[in-house]
Amino acid sequence: MKGTRTSSKLSVLEMMLILAMTAALVQGQGTRVGFYSQTCPSAESIVRSTVESHFQTNPAIAPGLLRMHFHDCFIQGCDASILIDGPNTEKSAPPNLSIGGYEVIDDAKTQLEAACPGVVSCADIVALAARDSVVVTRGINWQVPTGRRDGRVSLASETSGLPDFRESIDRHKAQFAAFDLNTQDLVALVGAHTIGTTSCQLFSYRLYDFNGTTGPDPTIDPAFVPQLQALCPQNGDGSRRVDLDTGSGDRFDTSFFTNLRDGRGIIESDQKLWTDGSTRVVVERYLGETGSQNFNVEFARSMVKMSNIGVKTGSDGEIRSICTAIN
């Protein structure tokens, strides 16, 4: 949150909690921390250095990689199906057209194939890169269980099941519950919006004649409306990008939740996390003196849970030699 120090290094207590929860979550899932320790010891360091290198020239890849992982896991499970090229694949669907960072995954895969041919899956690269995108934006670090295999099916039509920014919190909770993710997971994972931007066309409707009225969305702080209207004038450039976390859009911290409390959420569904009582109680846990610690631990735990959705292991799936095409 603003005014609160957020360290990229976890406290001993936080690390112990995350390690314990990670171990419990991956048991029986077929993934485990250190899966490549014998077959490709440099796997995680190659992905990390690739993310760091690309981030130096294009910081926008960090939120892109986080969003990529989320969208991948919610369709067909965490199997890198989002990476497959083609006219009717997930990658070509409208919800995924604005995702950035594909070049990072391709670069890491090229290096990994040179170091350990046919060993590291594209699905694991996506999961590791999502974690590393948090680290490079001065966020937390956690251990990522690996061992996923890549899927062979990618259908654009299935992206219609992704959460939509105009839907109710109840609808979002139901979508998350379908993957054994609870309300706390929902709020923690949406907290990834502490970094990144969105386009005016996705929220400017909140600023003018909202829901048939003659004014803006009443949940927006009235003092904040002129600032947003200046950024996104009526009938203006709908492609203009605006920080999702005003004042801290390039740093992974808890100020996103402070903005929700203050009526400064940009996306309608984000602001609903505060106006809906069932999610507000979770948001409140991420405010105050212990808010940062609570969010750090719970975000890492929720990311591990999400990264185990529908994973393919053992003889399921494949290890693609090129992430954009099925072998």
Contacts of 259 (CB under 8 A, 6+ apart): 245, 246, 247, 265
Residue 144 and residue 304 in contact, taking contact as beta carbons nearer than 8 Å:
yes
Q: What is 219-281 written as a DSSP string?
A: TS-TTTHHHHHHHS-TTS-TT-EEESSTT-TBS-SSHHHHHHHTT--SSHHHHHHHHSHHHHH
Residue 27 dihedral angles phi and psi, to the nearest 5°:
-60, 125
The C-alpha angle 224, 225, 228, rounded to 5 degrees, equals 90
**Count of residues in the chain:** 327
Question: Tell me, what amino acid is at 108?
Answer: A
Residue 242 dihedral angles phi and psi, to the nearest 5°:
-135, 140
Residue 73 and residue 80 in contact, taking contact as beta carbons nearer than 8 Å:
no
Residue 51 dihedral angles phi and psi, to the nearest 5°:
-60, -45
Contacts of 253 (CB under 8 A, 6+ apart): 1, 4, 6, 138, 139, 194, 292
* Separation CA 80–CA 311 (nearest Å): 10
Catalytic residue chosen out of the listed positions 54, 71, 172, 193: 71
* Separation CA 78–CA 162 (nearest Å): 14
Is 71 noted as a catalytic residue in this protein? yes
Continuous H helices in 58-198: 61-73, 102-115, 122-136, 169-177, 183-190
Give strand pairing partners of 195. Answer: 250
Active site residues: 71
